[in-house]
Structure 1
Amino acid sequence: MQLEIRPDPSEVGRARRWARSRLAVCGIEVDEPLAEILILLVSELVTNAVVHTGRPAVLRLSLPDAEVESATVRLEVADRSGRAPVPRCVDGEATGGRGLALVDGLADRWGWSPEGAGKSIWCELDRCDQPRKSAEAYDIEASAYEGFAFEAV
């Protein structure tokens, strides 16, 4: 499944609505943690594509069949900019620049690869019977990552 994205910030909301509508088809309820995380990831990756490239993009979702309880959900945003994702450091007052840091923290896996004249940034979430761990369960000290952020350009 894929959705063409125009280089317009209003497309981010349309991308979220489109992704939500696809979740029901594969048996993922919109109030499940997996769905909430997926929608946040859609928002972050589409925002990066729209804001930082100023070019059209394509949102792709690979969702499991409704009968499969343990499967991987894959989200991909391909844009027409060949520039690689670049890490950014932002201070606590900055209003942006944390998108890929969120992707890194929420996705089970993520990466990027060249695609034609542009690139594709992807992430995967594993759908399983067991609930995801909370941030506290990982015993990660948030201050260790203060000031780090990533931007896809």
Structure 2
Amino acid sequence: MRFPLRLRHVPGRLATGVFFLDSGLGKRGADQQTAETLHGMAANAYPFLGAVDPKTFVRLLSAGEMAVAAALLVPVVPTALAGGALVAFSAGLVGLYARTPGMRREGSVFPTEQGLILAKDVWLFGLGLGLLIDGLTERE
């Protein structure tokens, strides 16, 4: 039986997984103001989220981040699955960056100073895509 994790995947999976785990754990006990701020930003970019209670939204966001962290950090999770989870989650974050006013320079895809915090999600998307492609194209 082949072990689903390759040594070359460890640095990216470990660094990103720990980042997601910390972020998810940090949101678990979010207060009402934090929940409303995060929910408001997400609902501004994705209007259908406006119907979700802010505290529920943050609990789901926290659980989603921790699930992505688990996929990245647990070595028996296949690389393609871990990469796919990261692509799916980070695509939503990139969409948030693209849809939030003031995050990008006028007429550009490049970030404003305020947009740097969300623009970094492009790297997460790229790492996830690389893991997904590598996992799907790897030969026995």
Which category describes the TM-score, using the shorter chain as reference length?
A: 0.3 to 0.5
Q: With structure 1 as the length reference, what TM-score do the two structures score?
A: 0.33
Q: With structure 2 as the length reference, what TM-score do the two structures score?
A: 0.35
Structure with bigger helix share is 2
Structure with bigger strand share is 1
* Larger Rg, first or second structure (1 or 2): 2
